[in-house]
Structure 1
Amino acid sequence: MNFTGAFLKASSRSLFSGIFLIFFFLNVSCCAHELSDQQIAAIDAHTLAAPPEVEVDRQLLVAYLTQGLNTDAEKARAIYRWITDRIVYDADAFLSGRVEDMSVEDVMKKRKSVCFGFSSLFEKMAKDANLEVKSISGYAKAYGTSQGQHFDKPNHAWNAIRINENWYLVDSTWGAGYIKDGKFKKELSEAFFLTPPEQFVFSHFPVDEQWQLQRTSHLSQREFESLPQVEPTFFHSNISPIEAWEATRSPEFSGSFVHTFELPYHLVSIQKAPVMYRLKLNRMYTFKINATIFEKMALVQADHWQEMEKDGDFFTFNYNSELQGQMLVVGKKFDSDQYTAILAYELSP
């Protein structure tokens, strides 16, 4: 895991009281597309079983992917899942700066591209399925960028798609995986499929402000650049974007969110936990985490282990410490003797 090292300057913090009000009254829905887990599993299974003979032609492929699907959300899911599985991000081209313009046909043939190829392919396939879709150009806090960094030109592309008369955001590039240590790690992310705009804007900022899709005031580029850095996997554990915005408003906010680890999407679901990385000594913090895969959970600081209480699939604990230093939330799977790191904090006066 890469810990965020840069903190906001004091002058930047003043932005957040206004920014927070933009989002606080939004009705956040992580299931805006109304697809059940069973529907998603069925769509994904059909998508991943696409035979090679239909994958040589885009329109033939789209016809296969959308066979038997009735809603726009279902069709968008099938296209998203195929692209995130079959297309690999060209990390070498990105890191070397030798990015070539690739047509949709080239991306289909080579199965490799950078973000503009991903978004162009998603747009073409969605239009083949008679969906209303746009490719969006803008700025993204991706691999190699830092908190507060100024963007002088667009560095990323993604999509907006219209479903049930509403526009939603999709990033099939980040959905396919991420760069770590100079290499592309292929790993499906659900966090970038029909993402709530108040979550998406932590890492993505469109050139055309209408595609921020907020229902109230929009952010400026400077406000976006001043937002805390988040890892691509930050929202995988169901961390609330509203609570993240609320944390930025706190006078105790140091400029860094709780550190998360590379866990699969929704392996754990954080119902309650501090969102800020730096916590105070001698203060009570409540943790409530849902996780069916873990037999035990504990809070660990130095050599001090405090096991969380378990009630069904929920683990809870009220934590109050006099010890300075790092504190980890860890979990032990039923079939393992090892503990997996879930969250990391720093306690200080």
Structure 2
Amino acid sequence: MSSYRFLSASWLATALCLSANVSAHDVSEKQRAAIDAHALATPSEIEANSKSLATYLVQDLHSDTEKVRAIYRWISDRITYDVDAFLSGNVQSMSSAEVLQKRVSVCGGFSALFEELATQAGLEVKSIAGYAKSYGTVQGTHFEKPNHAWNAIKVDGEWRMIDATWGAGYVKEGKYSKVLSETFFLAPPEQFVFSHLPAEERWQLQRTPHLSQQEFEALPLIQPTFFHNDISASEAWNTAKKSDFSGSFVHTFDLPYHVAAIQLAPLEYQLKLDQAYQFKINTEVFEKIALVQSNLWIEMGRQEREFSINFSSKIEGELQVMAKKYGEAEYTSLLAYELRP
């Protein structure tokens, strides 16, 4: 437990003001859908070389964010992660042209192709080498050398981080799932550093204090879906700083991005018996949300789109927050905890 105590008071003080700028480079859902549709409809003949591809992707787009989005969406759809090379350790360096031709690569190829397309589109971009808590990483893993590559890109005069590899899918139980992730698209630096540490400190862009490699390795592991439901980076840092933090965050599940907004919920995995906890979840997708423990179902109160409840329990064991969509009978898991004395 003591390995988490490096988080100083300055971390918390700075973290509390982070959320104001988290969405500074967002595009609207309508804009994003239009850009995505444009990228996904790229004709095959346009994809023959990076120059024609980049020109097509950013045509009629004006802001840096829009252009970055088009490139990110195309790569996440067209390029597949080479899980066999990763698991076997037989990783070969590939140029951006080779990745464009073969459509399969590991992280170095993803970042090289993203850099090439962004450069062709007139954007300022860098490939970043560093340490990442990827598939197979366990709590406290020590990295002997950098094990991942991603990109830094300048958006409206500000450097931001983007990981097209993790944006295209993830490896679980030795198999690759090709699922778009929004978590690594222009992620706030304070969020990104939970899983990515640049080898060069100057590319730690967070306004909170920079981390050493040892401090990064001591951070709790997060699942790729952890930030999908609007869990804030500031609340995550706040939780990790608690004196009684067990070292594990709440378990999340592989749900579409923004299906629900977790406005208030405990972020630690281990909860205490007889202690009061508040839950508040905003969603337009789910008709009912319940807390489930053993055979006990407790429905959350609802007011328009907001579900809320004050909860405490005397029962040890697993607790899940589950939700049911309109017109469906089955419930879906949103969050999972463990209750202990």
TM category, shorter: over 0.9
Does the 8 Å CA contact 2:11/2:208 hold for their aligned counterparts? no
Deviations 1:206-256 (A, max 9, x none): 000111112353111000000000111111111111111001111121000
Number of the residue aligned with 2:198: 206
Shift of 1:18: 5.2
> For residues 11 and 34 of structure 1, do their structure 2 counterparts lie closer, same or farther at Cα, with a shift above 3 Å needed?
closer
Q: Return the alpha-carbon distance in structure 2 between the equivalents of residues 88 and 53 of structure 1.
A: 19
Task: Please tell me whether residue 61 in structure 1 is matched to residue 53 in structure 2.
Answer: yes
Number of the residue aligned with 2:138: 146
Q: Return the alpha-carbon distance in structure 2 between the equivalents of residues 266 and 197 of structure 1.
A: 19
Task: Please tell me whether residue 52 in structure 1 is matched to residue 73 in structure 2.
Answer: no
Does the 8 Å CA contact 1:228/1:257 hold for their aligned counterparts? yes
> Which one of 176, 185, 210 corresponds to residue 177 of structure 2?
185
Q: Return the alpha-carbon distance in structure 1 between the equivalents of residues 4 and 28 of structure 2.
A: 39
Q: Return the alpha-carbon distance in structure 2 between the equivalents of residues 327 and 160 of structure 1.
A: 39
Aligned amino acid, residue 240 of structure 2: T
> Which one of 1, 15, 35 corresponds to residue 6 of structure 2?
15
> Which one of 314, 317, 320 corresponds to residue 328 of structure 1?
320
Aligned amino acid, residue 67 of structure 1: Q
Task: Please tell me whether residue 290 in structure 1 is matched to residue 276 in structure 2.
Answer: no
Number of the residue aligned with 1:6: none
Unaligned 5+ segments in structure 1 are 1-9
Shift of 1:322: 1.1
Shift of 1:193: 0.6
SS in 2 for 1:53: helix
SS in 2 for 1:292: coil
Number of the residue aligned with 2:309: 317
SS in 1 for 2:216: helix
Q: Return the alpha-carbon distance in structure 1 between the equivalents of residues 90 and 327 of structure 2.
A: 45
> Which one of 281, 295, 299 corresponds to residue 307 of structure 1?
299
Shift of 1:50: 0.5
Q: Return the alpha-carbon distance in structure 2 between the equivalents of residues 333 and 214 of structure 1.
A: 37
SS in 1 for 2:183: helix
> Which one of 8, 20, 37 corresponds to residue 29 of structure 2?
37
Deviations 1:273-329 (A, max 9, x none): 000111111111111111211111100011111011111121111111111111000
Shift of 1:16: 2.5
Aligned amino acid, residue 249 of structure 1: K
Aligned amino acid, residue 52 of structure 1: S
Number of the residue aligned with 1:173: 165
- The number of residues matched between the two structures is 340
Shift of 1:26: 4.4
CA RMSD of aligned residues (A): 1.2
Q: Return the alpha-carbon distance in structure 2 between the equivalents of residues 121 and 168 of structure 1.
A: 17
Unaligned 5+ segments in structure 2 are none
Shift of 1:181: 1.1
Deviations 1:94-116 (A, max 9, x none): 00000111111110011100000
Does the 8 Å CA contact 1:178/1:187 hold for their aligned counterparts? yes
Does the 8 Å CA contact 1:32/1:194 hold for their aligned counterparts? no
Quote the sequence identity (%): 57
SS in 1 for 2:214: helix
> Which one of 268, 280, 293 corresponds to residue 276 of structure 1?
268
